[in-house]
A and B are shown apart, each in its own frame.
Chain A
Amino acid sequence: MVPSRYRGGFRALTAAAVPMRQLRWLAVLATVAMLWAQQPPGAVLQLVVRDAATTQPLSGATVRLQGTVLGGISRRDGTVRLERIPAGEYTLVVSMVGYRVWQRTLRLQAGDTVRLLVELEPQPVGLVPIVVTAAKRAQTLQEAPVSISAVELAPVLERSYSKLDEVLRTIPGVTVNRDHVSIRGTSGFALGVGSRTLLLLDGIPLLSGDSGEMKFDALPLMAAERIEVLKGAASALYGTAALGGVINVITREPSEQPQGAFRLYGGLYGTPRFEQWQLGQRGFWGADLSYAQRLGPIALLSSATVVRDESYRLDDDSFRWQLFAKLTWRVSPPTALTVLLQHADDDHGNWLYWRSLQEATRPGNEDSPQRVRSWKSLLAAEWRQFWSSRLSSTLRAGAYRTEFRNRLPGAPDTLPSSVAYSLSAEWQWGWQWQPNILLSAGIHGIGNVVEASIYGERRQWLLAAYAQAELGMLRPLGVTVGARLDRERMQGAAEHFELNPRLGIVYASWFGPQFRFALGRAFRAPTVAERFAQLRTAGFVVRPNPQLKAERGWSAELGAADTVRLAGKPWAVDVAVFHSDLFDLIEPGFGEGAAIQFRNVTRARIQGVELNATGWVGPSLRANQPGTLRCELALTLLNPRDLSANSMLKYRSRWLGIARAALPLGFGEFHLEYRYQSRVERIDEEFSTLGFIRHADQRVPIHVVELRWTLEGMALVGLPVQLSLGMRNAFDYYYTEVPGNLAPPRQFVLQLSGGW
């Protein structure tokens, strides 16, 4: 039976006099509409979500029916409406940042209209309640047996950040050494080559096929909802590159109300207080636009970004833009197809290192200022199918193309260049075998296809199968066991297999704290660049090493999380003790003729402790009330040892710390952040001994303070806009993260943002 509103529309379309080609398209669209319309009417669920403490409606809460693709986002008045729900028993889950997860089991009949009032209980600020990275499925943060930092993007975007690395520096236990992300000290510095952290966009791998590198500017931050950082070995689920952890950028789910947002910002670099470093007034600006809407079964999320940065260093300027779109089609209640499209273009100066400490804002290769043009494109699709309330499958496939070309204006085109495709296809199944036993399994293939002047024509293939069981029948004990077998093949290199098991335990104690334990093995296959790079640039000579083996490691973690009351306010406290043993680590080293070559040289052990505390102080019952001071403290102590050289691992700090405070003032908020990294104890001495970089060993501890004042347009002028005045590196503290690279001095930033 076709509902009358569809029947009328179809008749009107076929009666119109339109060309045959358009008619074909119209017929396809009409068929789709009819298929959608022919779905049984099902039940309707109407919710009102509000704050349990203040009874105010909550906008932006995520509502989903577990085991289906049905869900929605609450509107400004707190309402959500889910339609066409097939009859059956469901678990309704409502979650929102800053609130405890709400769950209830419902039995729905066809034709039912169920109205529910959902009151969410506040919990300590800043906690993202639902994560997807630990088990490749949605679960509460408390269910995950490993440490996960989940960062909500909306507050971060108030800070005019436009690249992923800027966000990652604000996450506890994470450092960024130029192009390398290091989670709890697992990575050093190799100009981005061979990331030991896997990067995902909505679960799709996003490391370049040639160098296994993160391209920080390729991520659509404006379209992202949150970033999840899984800390520790994760190859049992994710395979290669997840040696130190996984970063998963999760994009937003559109609601039925159209949501648009914009961001315009501009800033100036402060004049360095040393005359030797002054280059005249320089600045940066950027603009972002995003739009999201769900129209029946179709949901669209899109964003556009453009950024121009003159840089505080000579020949280091950049111009980049990016487009992103996500299209989701809910074919039927149990079926959804999502397509991701992304393209980023970047043109920047090829800054490598300074001329000297006295000329720290001038490049060492000033005489031949190269530029780099790079393109990053992603086409990916995900097909999710719930075969029943117990059985589901997800088919994910993606093609990530990266290309870069170095060029020297006026010179022949013989400089390094590379075109690489990273292809990924994964078929994952989930089966709720028993009420407390969830089984997952999947097969995963990765292909890296490279054509490069510096790596040659190379093909690398990884095939894998994995399985995992989550056992909850021993409540309050939850146990996860799993393993993944990977096989790697690359032309000119030996084939090898890697078996990576995993064990996770979560225990909700009767006296309050929740304990977790994780143990897992991980590996990283050498990238094409590490095996076959052969180039001569900026004074460096790089030689290939096809004999490289995969690097491997075991990591274990014991953690505890609890909410404690301090001065009458709830504070979320999390402590983790971790240990990693790493074998055959691939590091660039200087060999014969001062040439750089990647080698399996390092046997390492990293031990440490991480403490996170989040809460607020002040008279109010709520964290975002005027006069309350929201606080976040994080401290990481690391002991990263190079057992081969009996010394500290290179490019690691022993102490990492972040302190953050926000003070709501009624018409806006004042923010302060302090980031600390103790002095890196060891670097590659050859940068200095071989005379590549003058004053290469000049480094100090890192103290960076950021101040920001945000004014709410709604409170001041009745408009949905926000004005932010910020000062980054407010104390104008001069430091390096890697040799010969002065970090940005003080910056003044003005941002106007808004949404509807």
Chain B
Amino acid sequence: MLLLVLLLLAGCGGLDPTVLPTEAYITGTVRFRGAWPPEDSLRDLRVVAFQNYPPQDVVGEVLSGKALFTQERLPLFVDSASYQLRIEQLPVTLRYIVVAQQYGPDLFRHWRGVGVYGCPPPADTACQPDSLQVQEAGRWYRADIEVDFEHLPPQPFP
């Protein structure tokens, strides 16, 4: 009974305006067009957001904290898929957001970009990817990406 009275007096939980979110999110839909490559060349498929453009590679940039990737791989052989990226270090400018495919066994080298935010296919070398300035904690930012496996964008990775 005492516990009940204390709880009634104190209130217990729920939303709290003094504990504001410290992270932001990028969300979007990846739309796929064209014929999918063979399944054995789809070892991994993720959205990767880079601070640098052009980036050096995928894994190295992620390990050095200069890039983020989706926690789960994107579904294969679908028309579209939604994704989310959690951004904890704010503010940040993401200069290159790409759908990256690991096409070979080498985790460090066998990656290529198949869809770029701001460069819908067919994209030529003149296309400049869109930057996304993520500044406000608690906010969701949108970045939709189109992928056409038959018209890949210019490759940034060496």
Q: In the complex, are the beta carbons of B27 and A733 less than 8 A apart?
A: no
Q: In the complex, are the beta carbons of A700 and B14 less than 8 A apart?
A: yes
* CB-based nearest A residue for B142: A689
Chain B residues, Cβ within 8 Å of A685: 27, 140, 142
A746–B14 alpha-carbon span in the complex (Å):
13
CB neighbors of B among A733-748 (8 A): 733-736, 742, 746
A414–B20 alpha-carbon span in the complex (Å):
38
A512–B7 alpha-carbon span in the complex (Å):
44
Q: In the complex, are the beta carbons of A360 and B139 less than 8 A apart?
A: no
* CB-based nearest A residue for B140: A688
Contacts A357-B20, A695-B21, A731-B8 given; indicate if A689 touches B15 (C-beta within 8 A): no
Q: In the complex, are the beta carbons of B139 and A688 less than 8 A apart?
A: yes
A645–B27 alpha-carbon span in the complex (Å):
13
B16 in contact (CB, < 8 A): yes
Chain A residues, Cβ within 8 Å of B20: 357-358, 695
Chain B residues, Cβ within 8 Å of A619: none
A357–B13 alpha-carbon span in the complex (Å):
15
CB neighbors of B among A184-237 (8 A): none
A274 in contact (CB, < 8 A): yes
Chain B residues, Cβ within 8 Å of A730: 8
Q: In the complex, are the beta carbons of A735 and B15 less than 8 A apart?
A: yes
A310 in contact (CB, < 8 A): no
A731–B81 alpha-carbon span in the complex (Å):
41
Q: In the complex, are the beta carbons of A274 and B17 less than 8 A apart?
A: yes
Chain A residues, Cβ within 8 Å of B41: none
A112 in contact (CB, < 8 A): no
Chain A residues, Cβ within 8 Å of B14: 700, 703, 733-735
* CB-based nearest B residue for A735: B14
Q: In the complex, are the beta carbons of B11 and A731 less than 8 A apart?
A: yes
A273 in contact (CB, < 8 A): yes
Contacts A685-B27, A686-B142, A697-B138 given; indicate if A733 touches B21 (C-beta within 8 A): no
Q: In the complex, are the beta carbons of B142 and A357 less than 8 A apart?
A: no
CB neighbors of A among B7-60 (8 A): 7-8, 11-18, 20-21, 25, 27
Main secondary structure of the interface of B (DSSP, over half): loop
Q: In the complex, are the beta carbons of B138 and A694 less than 8 A apart?
A: yes
CB neighbors of A among B75-93 (8 A): 75, 78, 81-82
B141 in contact (CB, < 8 A): yes
A-B contact count (CB 8 A): 75
Chain B residues, Cβ within 8 Å of A734: 13-16
Chain B residues, Cβ within 8 Å of A699: 15
* CB-based nearest B residue for A274: B17
CB distance from B7 to the nearest CB of A (A): 6
Chain B residues, Cβ within 8 Å of A731: 7-8, 11-13
Q: In the complex, are the beta carbons of B142 and A360 less than 8 A apart?
A: no
A694–B11 alpha-carbon span in the complex (Å):
25
A732–B25 alpha-carbon span in the complex (Å):
30
Chain B residues, Cβ within 8 Å of A695: 20-21, 138
- Against B, the Cβ 8 Å flags (1 = close, 0 = not) of A168-191 are 000000000000000000000000
CB distance from B156 to the nearest CB of A (A): 26
CB neighbors of B among A634-653 (8 A): 645-647
* CB-based nearest B residue for A647: B82
* CB-based nearest B residue for A594: B142
Q: In the complex, are the beta carbons of B17 and A646 less than 8 A apart?
A: no
A694–B24 alpha-carbon span in the complex (Å):
12
Contacts A645-B82, A688-B139, A691-B139 given; indicate if A360 touches B15 (C-beta within 8 A): yes
Contacts A646-B81, A685-B27, A689-B27 given; indicate if A697 touches B11 (C-beta within 8 A): no
A645–B28 alpha-carbon span in the complex (Å):
12
CB neighbors of B among A352-389 (8 A): 357-358, 360
Q: In the complex, are the beta carbons of B8 and A358 less than 8 A apart?
A: no
Q: In the complex, are the beta carbons of A357 and B17 less than 8 A apart?
A: yes
A276 in contact (CB, < 8 A): yes
A357–B139 alpha-carbon span in the complex (Å):
12
Chain B residues, Cβ within 8 Å of A703: 13-14
* CB-based nearest A residue for B29: A645
A583 in contact (CB, < 8 A): no
CB distance from B112 to the nearest CB of A (A): 25
Contacts A274-B18, A645-B82 given; indicate if A733 touches B138 (C-beta within 8 A): no
User: Which of A274, A688, A696, A736 sits near B16, CB closer than 8 Å?
Assistant: A274
- Against B, the Cβ 8 Å flags (1 = close, 0 = not) of A322-337 are 0000000000000000
A690 in contact (CB, < 8 A): yes
A431 in contact (CB, < 8 A): no
* CB-based nearest B residue for A642: B82
A285 in contact (CB, < 8 A): no
- Against B, the Cβ 8 Å flags (1 = close, 0 = not) of A660-704 are 000000000000000000000000011011110011111110010
Chain A residues, Cβ within 8 Å of B140: 685, 688-689, 696-697
* CB-based nearest A residue for B26: A689
CB distance from B65 to the nearest CB of A (A): 25
CB distance from A686 to the nearest CB of B (A): 7
CB distance from A129 to the nearest CB of B (A): 36
A373–B16 alpha-carbon span in the complex (Å):
33
Chain A residues, Cβ within 8 Å of B7: 731
Chain A residues, Cβ within 8 Å of B82: 645-647
A673–B20 alpha-carbon span in the complex (Å):
31
* CB-based nearest B residue for A357: B17
CB neighbors of A among B126-151 (8 A): 138-142
A44–B48 alpha-carbon span in the complex (Å):
84
Q: In the complex, are the beta carbons of B15 and A736 less than 8 A apart?
A: yes
A742–B16 alpha-carbon span in the complex (Å):
11
Q: In the complex, are the beta carbons of B142 and A733 less than 8 A apart?
A: no
CB distance from A500 to the nearest CB of B (A): 30
CB distance from A626 to the nearest CB of B (A): 20
Q: In the complex, are the beta carbons of A733 and B75 less than 8 A apart?
A: no
- Which of A273, A276, A358, A688 is most buried by chain B, counting CB atoms within 10 A of its CB? A688
A319 in contact (CB, < 8 A): no
* CB-based nearest B residue for A687: B140
CB distance from B32 to the nearest CB of A (A): 13
A697–B27 alpha-carbon span in the complex (Å):
13
* CB-based nearest A residue for B13: A733
Q: In the complex, are the beta carbons of A733 and B11 less than 8 A apart?
A: yes
A277 in contact (CB, < 8 A): yes
Chain A residues, Cβ within 8 Å of B78: 646
The 4 closest A-B pairs by CB, nearest first: A734-B14, A732-B11, A688-B140, A689-B142
Known A-B contacts: A646-B81, A689-B27, A735-B14. Give 12 more (CB < 8 A).
Answer: A357-B15, A358-B20, A360-B15, A646-B78, A689-B140, A689-B141, A691-B139, A697-B138, A698-B21, A703-B13, A731-B8, A732-B11
Offer 26 A-B interface pairs, CB within 8 angstroms, sorted by A: A273-B11, A274-B18, A646-B81, A646-B82, A647-B82, A685-B140, A688-B139, A688-B140, A689-B27, A689-B140, A690-B142, A694-B139, A695-B21, A697-B25, A697-B140, A703-B13, A727-B8, A731-B8, A731-B12, A732-B8, A732-B12, A733-B12, A734-B14, A734-B15, A734-B16, A735-B15
